Structures are given as C-alpha cells and as structure tokens.
Amino acid sequence: MSAWSSEKGEGGRGERPRVVITGMGSVNACTVGGTEAVAAALARGRPAIAPVRAFATDGCRSHLAAEVEASMLSGLLNRETDRRLSRVCQLAVAACRLAAADARISGGPELGIVVGSEFGDLRSTEEFFSAFLRRGSAALSPLIFPNTVMNTMASAAAIALDARAASVTINQATIAGDLAVVRATALVAEGYATTMLAGGVDELSPPLYRHLAALGALSPMQGEGAEGCRPYAPDHNGPVLGEGATFVVLEELESARARGATLHAEVTRGVWGNIPTAPHTAQPFRVDVHSPVRRFLAELAPGLPTCCYGSGNGDPRVDDWEVALLQRELPEAFGRAGSRPPRSLAPQFGQHGGLGVLRVVAAALDAARERRPVLVHGIARGGCRTSLWIEPPP
Amino acid sequence: MTRVVISGLGVVSPYGAGTKAFWEGIAAGTCAIRPITLIDTEGFRCRIAAEVPAEAVAAFDSSPRRSRADRMALAAAREAIADAHLSAEDRAGAALLVAAVGGGMLEGEAWYWEEARMGRPSPRIRALRSILPASHAETVGHRLGLGGPKETIIMACASGAAAIALGADLIRSGVVPLAVVGGVDALTRICFMGFNALKLLDTEPCRPFDRDRRGMSIGEAAAFLVLEDSERCRARGGPMYGEFLGAGMTTDAHHVTAPHPEGEGMIRAMTAALNAAGVPAGDIGYVNAHGTGTPQNDRVEASALRRVFREGGVLVSSTKSMVGHTMAAAGTIEAIATLLALQHSLIPPTANLRQLDPDVPFDCVPGVARPTPVEVGLSNSFGFGGQNVSLVFRKG
C-alpha cells in the first residue's frame, strides 16, 4: 500500500531493498555540519529567527527570518569550482558535500540525488529579467539563464559530487524536503541507484521575501498580532521564512553494511498522497479519503507513534488542517483531551525546502537514541501530504 | 511484476487541442513553427516558435484567469482522462505527476514588466500565486479530483519523460492502479530570451540532424497519459495504446548546459531502459530522438545512438522539427508520438531535414512519414544539467 515500504520478514517484499540513513549534512540558520553539528543544534533548540539582516524590509509587513550567515557558507565553498554558482546552488552543493563526507561515500553511476525546493533560484530569475529591463537583450546573461530552471541546484550538486544516477527535482510548498526523502527512498527501492542524496534547499532573497509578504503569505498574514512563528498555537498567524540546505544519504542496507557505514536509522515507510483542494488553499474540514497516507496511518493506529514531527509552520489553516487530520486518523495519539500536537522545527529553522529534511534528521536521531519509531508527517496548502516512518537502525 | 499500459492520451499542441490534431499534424510532416505572436520579439535574432493557436486556447473549458500553462495542462489532462473512460472513483485513487519548468511565468513576467515600467505595485501581483511549476499539479489535481500521490517533477527538458517513468513505478510497486502523468510548458519570455542568450535558437524552423542545422526552435504544449495496471485496464475494457516496458534515468554530472561529449550519460540511460524493459537493442524499430537541432546535441545523440544500436540499426526521427522544443512537455508529447507511431505503423518524419549530417549514420525519415510496422520503440529526452531519460514502449 505504501509508495515505498521495507517490510522486514514479510513475504513478497523481501526483494525490495531496505533503505537506511547513513549520513546527513546541513547548512542552516542554526548550524553547519554533519550528524554531530545537527544533533547539537537540535538539542540546543535555540531559534534562529531574527530581524532580517541581509536586506532591508522597509515597507514590508514582515521583518523576520532565519538567515544563513555569509561566513557560515563561505567557509564550505571551493573557491575554484563554486564561485560562479548562484547562492542557492552553493547552499545545496555545500550541504551535499557535508552529507557525503558524513556518510563517507563517493560519487559514481550508483549515486543519485533528489532535491526538493519551494522556490528554486528566484534570485537569478529576477536578476535575469532586471538586466533585460535595464539594458535590453544585449544584457541577457547566458550564465544566469540555466539557474532559472529549478533543477539547477540538483545539477550543480550532481556535478560537484559526481552523482551520475537519476537526478530529480521536486517543487512543492511546505513539505518539499519530506517529499524529496520519500521519492529518493522509492528510487533506491526501485533500483535506480544504491545510494541517494535526498534533501531540500531554498534561499531568502529580497524579491521573494517582499512578494510573499505582499501576498500575505508570511507572519503576520492578516496584519494582526505579533510577527513570529508559532506552529499550532492559538495565536499563530503565519510562517516565518528560513533558508538553507539539508541532505541525508539514503542507502541500500546491504550496501551500507558491506562498506561498514554508520547506520543512523531505517526509513521503513514512505508514503505520499493528495487531498484534492483548490490551489494555495488549506481546508481544515476536508478529510483524507483516498490518499495512501490515510491508509498508512490507519495501519499504524494500533501501534501509536509516541513521537511525531509535523509540518506545522504557523500558517493557521495548514496547522489546523494537520491537527484535524491526525486527530481523526490517530485519535489515540492526537485526539484525547490534553494530547499534544506534533513537534515542529519551524520556529527554530524557519520555513524552507530543507525543513522537511531536518524533520527526518531529527526523527532519525530520536529513533536511534530512544530505540523507538518516529513518525514524520506533513501537509501543504493544495493538499499534498506525506508521511515517513523512521525506525532505529537495524 | 505489474505490467503498465497506456489507456488514455491528451494533447494540446501547436496544431491545436486534441491528440487527433497532434497525430494528423506530425503524420503529415507539418511544421507548426511560425512567427511569435504571444510576446514581443523586438531586438532578438530569432523570432519564431511553435505556439498553441489562439483559437484553441480560447476554446478551453477553464477560467481565463488561470495561467495559460494551467489551462493547457487542464485541457490535456481532461482529454486523457476522458479518453481512458475514468470514473470519478477511478480518479480519486489516481496518482498525478506533472512535469513543468516555466510554471505560470508568462503571467508573472507581465506583472514584473508592468511594475518595473510603472515604478509602483501592480494589481497583477496575484499572478505570482501560480508562477511556480507546482501550480499545474495543484490545478489539475483539484479540478479533476485526483487523490493519489501528487508530484511536480523538474528535470529541465527531460521532465516529461521522467514523469512517465516515475508514475509507472508507482503502479508497478502497487501504490496506485492508475497514474495521470504529463508535462506542460507555455511559451515564456524567460525561455525565449534565455535560449537567445545562449545562441541556441535557429532563425528558421529547426532542422534536426541536418548538415546545416543552426539550433532549436521553441514550442509550447501540454501532453498527458493515463498509465494503468494492465490487468485492471483489461478487466474494465479500457483502451490500450501500448505498454510501458521500462525506463532509464541518468545524469551526466558534466556540465550545466552541455551534454557529455561522448554521450556517456545518454548511453547509460538508453541501456538502462532496454535492460529494464527486458528487450535487446535489436528489437527497437524506432527511436523518437531528443533531436533538438542544435549542432552539439544532435551530434552527441547520434554518437550515443550508434553505440547502442550500431550504425543504421534503427529508424530515428525528431518530433521537435514540427512542434518545436516544448520543454517540460517534450518528453510526454514525444512518448505519445512514439506510441501512436507504433499503433499506426507509421513513423513520423523529421521535417526540414534536407541534407543528413554525415555524422548521423541513421535513416532519420526526412520530410515524409514512413509506413513501417514496428513493435517496440524508444523515446529519448535529455535536459540541462545533463539529465537523461529514455523510455521503451511496446505496441498495444
């Protein structure tokens, strides 16, 4: 029933390889590094959201974000090969290198990559257009144009890491990173590669920030209440943007064992579905009838997840929708009086394409430390829904 | 393993709306590349493209407030679903994979232009809501009630082919019995200007595999297929246009815009697709080439084809010679061209091909369609970032 599942010891599923997480790398507003650095940042839990420093927000309704300091990124770049990459590509390349080093993998035809992004390289798109409007067709840069296609981050990372198996980019709001991990897990299971770098990336840029604020997509969405990221809280009033890139290394269990890799966790289920909903809307009253996620959670219900990371980012409609769905589908865990909502990492890192992967990373670290499975759940405006079941390493 | 068949087709192409119009156009070898009307081309060397006719767009059964690309996608997906005779219940469990690159950029550009020129905010800012590629899947999924897994795939010009491969995987792995898969891209200023900046556009309609080819021509289209578990399709008496046999997806990891000079990634993609399909290269009777008309792509693709199929071992043609390069839709519209070629035993031609490049050791079906019974065909799609996807289909 699942998009991908590794069901240990169950007949007929034995042919599908089990998929484990063997490394992670992240460049985010809180930290830079592999497993140790990310684990330490998660343990500290210190929010990186602060007034935007990289550009002026005068005239905007919103002024907060979780930014990656220039110095955090510059130290990770190769001056010769990376200097001409756009910033969002640099973020992706740096995080992929950290994840590959963490997992001790090298490139080749069996290494693939899946990148999830909410916005791609809009900075380059804006730069391309503005050059034309200022100086005409002669000013159009053939070097910038390829960056306007959203697979540019995956391409840059594939070149940097020599990843020559399948390379897939997924565009999705709110849960781009979750979806990238689910899809990459499926690609390993389907035999497209033995190892995949799966991650998400986005960057803050002045046009993106201003336009989203103008559209009322950021806290404070309706212009009321204090600006801030308060997922699932009664006074939540919109997301706060973050930026960065986070990647995990997903690998066939046998391959990982054969090379003596560190096994952080196993991804035993990855499902995704859709609750047909008008574009850009969230409908907390709309139930999930057909999506594989609902069926997966129904199967899960008797076992009850004791820990769940959710995609709540402070967008009231989406937060409420997620809670309503989980209360309905996992009533024992979320529907009882006093039940707590899922855990959200948005207040710490800000909303961006890498956030879903940080949820997966947090779940993997929890699963390994506490020797129990962890659920990662996500839903976005428009109805796309994901769920991952992360278990302790075998 | 579950076998996957194609039970529905839908196309919006430069010939107009409908799969029939598309097939009649390419079977006749009609080149639909003409002067651009949608955007201002003043100051650019190339001023032609293959546009979807205005009367076809005006006839779409969707709100004109939606982006052009959303409307094209909706029209093509609707046709595919109607063609497959899918009920509302069928649709509720179907996956949706949409390949896209430009999103609603055409309308986003209009907003940006207006703000830049007026120097103050424009009410057109709402166009930004559908500027991202994911807009198409949201629109199609909502309007057509598709409740299975939903994804927006961006692999540059190989996106459409990848959507087919990934959708078929969902059926083969038992996630869903049905998948609506396709690609869409409307003409945009950024695409037109970008390829002009790269000097990759021919000032005349493109001439793939021609000795004197000078580059590609841009096109726009939406193309969708319904993929289905063959047993299910057979049980319900659904149409079967052909069978999806397998796919290969690889990356060059070489250069952002140029293919690997030896076509290493292309060769691996074709070989992987043949292996996945379980057919030897000798069984392939027709290759619908990526065939853009750029000197570099066609030379490298021909070299890769020679390595896989040996000289002259297969008929090769390029649909882009007639409908231009439809970007994210190219992989799906060319898969449909391949399926229809197998079904009709008629190989669509490479239009505008007058003098075959001596470095292309294949019969590229110049000018006129060729009646030829073929059982198995392969469709190639390659894209920026060294993305390579090959698909193998068997006649229905």
Minimum distance, in Å, between the CA of residue A157 and any CA atom of chain B: 8
Instruction: Report the pLDDT value the prediction gives residue A5, as an integer from 0 to 100.
Output: 57
Q: Based on the domain organization, do B287 and B190 belong to the same domain?
A: no
When CB atoms are compared, the residue of B150, B162, B253 closest to A162 is: B253
Question: How far B192 CA sits from the closest chain A CA (Å)?
Answer: 10
- Which residues lie across from A272 on neighbouring strands? A386
Chain B contact for A106 (CB, 8 A cutoff) = no
Q: Point out the domain boundary residue: B202, B236, B270.
A: B236
Asked whether residue B231 falls in the same domain as residue B265, the answer is no
To the query of whether residue B325 is one of the catalytic residues in this protein, the response is: yes
> Does one domain contain both B208 and B263?
no
Catalytic residue among B31, B46, B157, B191: B157
With contact defined as beta carbons under 8 Å apart, do A121 and A147 qualify? yes
- Residue B113: the pLDDT is 86
Same domain, B44 and B189: yes
Task: Determine which of A155, A212, A385 to mutate to test the interface with B (most B C-beta atoms within 10 Å).
Answer: A155
pLDDT of residue A2: 40
Say if residue B9 is in the same domain as residue B152: yes
Residue A301: its pLDDT value, please? 66
Q: Which ranges in chain A belong to alpha helices (H)?
A: 35-44, 70-74, 79-82, 87-103, 122-135, 152-161, 176-189, 206-214, 253-258, 292-300, 316-329, 331-334, 346-349, 355-370
What separation in angstroms does the CA of A338 have from each of A331, B251, B329?
12, 50, 50
In this prediction, residue A250 carries a pLDDT of 98
- Would the CB atoms of A190 and B169 count as touching at under 8 Å? yes
Same domain, B322 and B201: no
DSSP codes of every residue in B237-277: T----EEEEEEEEEE--S-SSSPPTT-HHHHHHHHHHHHHH
Whether a cis peptide bond, with omega within 30° of 0, leads into A220 is: yes
The class that CATH gives domain A4-267 is alpha beta
The verdict on B221 and B259 lying in the same domain is: no
- Average pLDDT for B136-142: 96
The span from the CA of A61 to the CA of A237, in Å, is 12
Arithmetic mean of pLDDT, B71-78: 98
Task: Supply the pLDDT for residue A289.
Answer: 85
Number of structural domains found in chain B: 2
**The whole model's pTM is what?**
0.97
CB A245 within 8 A of CB A94: yes
Answer yes or no: are the C-beta atoms of A390 and A373 closer than 8 Å: yes
Q: Looking at residue B364, which CATH number applies to its domain?
A: 3.40.47.10
B117, B139, B256: best to mutate for the A interface, most A CBs within 10 A: B256
CB proximity under 8 Å: A 219-278 to B: 271-278
Residue type at B75 in one-letter notation: A
Indicate if the alpha-carbon torsion angle A286, A287, A288, A290 is positive or negative: negative
Q: Are residues B160 and B303 in the same domain?
A: no
Q: Are B148 and A113 within 8 A, CB to CB?
A: no
CATH topology of domain A271-391: Peroxisomal Thiolase; Chain A, domain 1 (3.40.47)
Q: Which amino acid is at B73?
A: A
User: Which amino acid would we find at residue A155?
Assistant: S
What is the pLDDT at residue B116? 83
Specify which residues A266 forms β-bridges with: A20, A391
Residues of chain A with CATH 3.40.47.10: 4-267, 271-391
pLDDT class for B174, splitting at 50, 70, 90? very high
Q: Is B175 close to A2, i.e. CB distance below 8 A?
A: yes
* B298 and B386 part of one domain: yes
State which residues form the domain around B301: 243-395
pLDDT lower than 50: segments of chain A = 1-2, 6-14
**What is this model's ipTM?**
0.97
| Average pLDDT score, chain B | 96
DSSP at A228: S
Residue A75 contacts B where some CB pair is shorter than 8 Å: no
Q: Are the C-beta atoms of residues A28 and A242 closer than 8 Å to each other?
A: yes
For residues B211 and B226, is the Cβ–Cβ distance under 8 A? no
DSSP A302: G
358-377 in chain A: CB under 8 A from chain B: none
Whether the predicted pLDDT of B2 surpasses 90:
yes
User: Quick one: pLDDT at residue B120?
Assistant: 81
> Residues with Cβ < 8 Å from B272, sequence gap 6 or more?
B247, B248, B249, B250, B390
DSSP letter string, B139-165: HHHHHHT--S-EEEEEBTBTHHHHHHH
> Is B253 within 8 Å of A132 when comparing Cβ atoms?
no
Task: State whether B228 and B249 are in the same domain.
Answer: no
CA distance A299 to chain B (A): 15
Average the pLDDT over B358-381 and give the result.
98
B193 shares a domain with B165: yes
What's the CA gap between A204 and A122, in Å, rounded?
Answer: 9
Task: With CB atoms and an 8 Å threshold, state whether B138 touches A128.
Answer: no
pLDDT at res. A302:
64
Is the Cβ–Cβ distance between B377 and B235 less than 8 Å?
no
Structural contact between residues A286 and A275, judged by C-beta atoms closer than 8 angstroms:
yes
Pair B256, B379 in one domain? yes
| Predicted local confidence at residue A12, as pLDDT | 35
The residue out of B187, B212, B236 marking a domain boundary is: B236
Distance CA A257, CA A18 (A): 11
